[in-house]
Structure 1
Amino acid sequence: MSRKVSASTRIRVAAGAAALITVACTASAVAYGRSSGSGSPSGPREAAALTGSAKLSRTLGDDITFTFDAHLAAKHRMDPAKATGTFRFSHYLDGEGAWAKGRIDCLVTGGKVAVATGVITAGDLPGAKGKRVGFTVHDTGRNDRLGYSWAAVGSPVETKDLPKCVSSAPFERVKNGTGDFRVLPWQPDFVG
């Protein structure tokens, strides 16, 4: 038995399918916006962000972890020094090492690269409390990279008078399967 379908029925089916696709795409966009810290769907997204946690890849077996929750609100889009959030890092080898945490005081991102600084507020690394440290993250989606301001001097304690939003190139690699960093690109007014 053959069934004839009229042109108007085909148009209604196509329109219904298009409406379903539109609803699905809109729902996905809203969910993505919320997960990237953009707030409500009707509000502006935050100006920049660096989030996530991962361990670095070291051949000697060092256990090095960095964690970031740094954000630049939409209303402070033109002032990276108004960034807020936290950072934490630890470095252990054969049971010896230290950890530190602090508050973010600057964040600039460009594409998938972020540079952030913050002041150490707690930890067990002698002499580190009150020191500003910097971090650079390259979010590649896989095999992220990370750098830190004390790369050339060996310890955050040895860094003297570090300005805000200054760090080294992201020369370290993240160990596969240990986490991921996410960078939300900065969109200042003067960039078209």
Structure 2
Amino acid sequence: MAHDEHTHEDKNNSVFKIAMNLAITCFISGAIIATTFAITEPAAAEQRVKAKNDAMRELVKDAESFNPIDGKDGWYGAMKGGKVVAYVVPASSKGYGGAIEMLAAVTPDGKAMDYKVLKHNETPGLGDKMVEPKFRKQFANKTANDMEVVKVPTDKNIQALTGATITSRAVTKGIKEAVEAVAAYSATQKK
């Protein structure tokens, strides 16, 4: 009987050792992950800010600076000669492959200038053509009223990408909402 108790004690000991080793491994792994995150996250955050600044400069090439707009999260006024020449605002919509995140440049009088896609999961060779100038330039100088996706081209509306109507509608919806938001905001600034 003493022999059985000894075996039981050994089993308990080995389970305890395994549990302790597992706990120590988890703790060390967690510490490594936390340290790596602490080191890499500021660099990643800095990279995101740089990417956003580069995107804004690409959208409004003649701007001298970009000033955050009070009370509008993620909005910037593109400044030239002390005046706002455009607003750069976040735009998003749900496409075929999920969220499409963009930055939209809009004139103070509520017309689209251009947009830049920051993140998407659209189909390669179809939906991802939304980033190409041929599709993007259709938005230039359009008000929200003219942003309607059509399959047969017109000068007034947005022609859908071939095989990617869902993506076309999603981008158009996101940019249209951004243009409407800027137009509404600008109306309050004129008072």
Report which of the two has the higher share of strand.
Answer: 1
Report which of the two has the higher share of helix.
Answer: 2
Band the TM-score falls in, shorter-chain normalisation: 0.3 to 0.5
Query: Under a length normalisation based on structure 1, what TM-score does the superposition of the two structures give?
Result: 0.34
Query: Under a length normalisation based on structure 2, what TM-score does the superposition of the two structures give?
Result: 0.34
Structure number with the bigger relative contact order (C-alpha 8 A, sep ≥ 6) is: 1
